[in-house]
Structure 1
Amino acid sequence: MSSRAEINAILARLRKLAPMGYFIGAHIRFAAPVMQFQTYPAAWIENYASNGYALRDPTIAWGFSTTGAIRWSMMPIPDPFGIMADAARYGLVNGIVVSCGPLKSRTIACCAHDMREFTNDEIEAISTLVRRLHDITEPPESLTKAQQEALRCIAEGDRHAAAAAKLGITESAFKARLISARERLMAKTTAEALQRAKDYRLL
């Protein structure tokens, strides 16, 4: 199974385990996640963003303070801005936080249930899925010279034929380099691959 297919399979399982939605920030670096996935209600996502809750969210603060899993109802982190109470008004009452990975590349997931607290077995299942997601979304440490050259040509605005001529290879060989770069960066498109390579400081 490819990394992209495994990511989709994990997210599908999480959707079943967290019927009220989830938020996952994978490999948070420089205050932003390398990958982000969420299925929370759209109204809550909009409210969360418009109020700038990310910098004040006690679930995120807990995720940076330690690793493991905890129910929202058991969190020891203060919530002076009333974010959890606000979330409850959008149906996000019962939930958990799962945190894993080193502090310099932490993955934090929040999952919500619409009817009840998560069971211990569900928390363990979710934790296992989040840890696996963390592992398979690990950004690469480097790109090959061929992958870097191909992405740089795209960054400079070259079309495939012109880029291939510049590199002294066939157009099909150039396209193969782009495909390998996309796969290495787990990107759906070349534009996404280019952005990730820049974000990871690989170009």
Structure 2
Amino acid sequence: MRLYLYNMGRNHVIDNLLVELGEQAPAGYYLALHIRFAAPLMMFQTFNPDWIDRYTQNAYALRDPLVAWGISRTGATRWSAIDLPDPFEIMREAATYGLVYGVCVSCGPMSSRTIASAARADREFTDEEIAAITGTVLHLHHETEPPDNLTPAEIEALKILASGERYAAGAARLGISESALKARLSTARKKLFARTSAEAIQRAKDYRLL
């Protein structure tokens, strides 16, 4: 199975939790963490790659009853208990790719919602398994919480880089060493779960931190 990662700066806690979620979902999982401004901070998928391609090509996310359920409420429920309309029979089609039984988990405020789906092909998830999956998703939601703010020094460093300055020139403008500038940028990237400084700049703008 393929694992899709977006806008992510990983750490060992998150890695371990993702492994745990993978073990809890024999047929794969979908995880969108901290959906803000119509996009998640991080997104992971380990469903059947053919289903992922089919789902993406047909823009099923716009019609998926699981997504609608996750956006409209919080908690956990089996897929079979979701009574929302599915006029495009997405769930019926998903079953042909091995996604027969599943659980949907939704948590967090509407402004930073996390939605997850875990699947298996052989039977319904038990109440105990649903509780364990919910705990893992809640832990992931907590561990990936975006920062409420950046320090003035981190904001200053990001702004310098966003203006087009190179490290040496930017450090000179701030009156600090190049290594100090890079250290501030490194801290900002970690807070924003960004792989690059350019990604950190965009993420800070998206979250109105810059």
TM-score, with length taken from structure 2: 0.90
RMSD: 1.6
Q: Which of 107, 110, 113 does residue 114 from structure 2 map onto?
A: 107
- Output the CA distance in 2 between the equivalents of 1:3 and 1:131: 17
Question: Matched residues in 2 for 1:168 and 1:114: separation?
Answer: 60
**Other-structure match for 1:19:** 26
Partner of 1:86: 93
Q: Distance in 1 between matches of 2:209 and 2:97?
A: 40
Distance in 2, Cα, partners of 1:31 & 1:189: 22
Which has the larger displacement, 152-161 or 2-11?
A: 2-11
**Rounded Cα–Cα distance in structure 1 between residues aligned with 2:60 and 2:163:** 37
Q: Given the alignment, which residue of 58, 68, 79 partners 1:61?
A: 68
Q: Does 1:166 align with 2:173?
A: yes
The partner residue of 1:10 within 13, 17, 20 is 17
1-side partners of 2:198 and 2:47: how far apart?
Answer: 27
Distance of 2:26 and 2:198 partners within structure 1: 32
User: What is the TM-score when the length of structure 1 is the normalising length?
Assistant: 0.93
- Equivalent in the alignment of 1:154: 161
CA deviations 1:6-64 (Å, max 9, x no partner) are: 11111010011112111111111222212211111221111111111111110011112
Distance 2:54 2:165 in 1: 41
Unaligned 5+ segments in structure 1 are none
Q: How far does residue 193 in structure 1 lie from its aligned partner after superposition?
A: 1.8
User: Across the two proteins, how many residue pairs are aligned to each other?
Assistant: 202
In structure 2, the partner of 1:48 is: 55
2:186 paired residue number = 179
Q: Distance in 1 between matches of 2:34 and 2:127?
A: 25
1:164 alignment partner AA? A
Aligned-partner SS, 2:11: helix
SS in 1 for 2:88: coil
Q: Does 1:194 align with 2:197?
A: no
Assess if the C-alpha contact under 8 Å between 1:4 and 1:186 holds in 2.
Answer: no
Q: How many percent of aligned residue pairs carry the same amino acid?
A: 58
Q: Shift of residue 3 of structure 1?
A: 7.5
Q: Following the alignment from structure 2 to structure 1, what is the Cα–Cα distance between the partners of residues 197 and 58?
A: 33
Q: Which residue is 1:38 aligned to?
A: 45
Paired position in structure 1 for 2:137 = 130
The letter of the residue matching 2:14 is I
Matches of 1:169 and 1:153, distance apart in 2: 12
Q: Return the alpha-carbon distance in structure 1 between the equivalents of residues 75 and 111 of structure 2.
A: 16
Letter in 1 for 2:198: A
* Matches of 2:63 and 2:54, distance apart in 1: 14
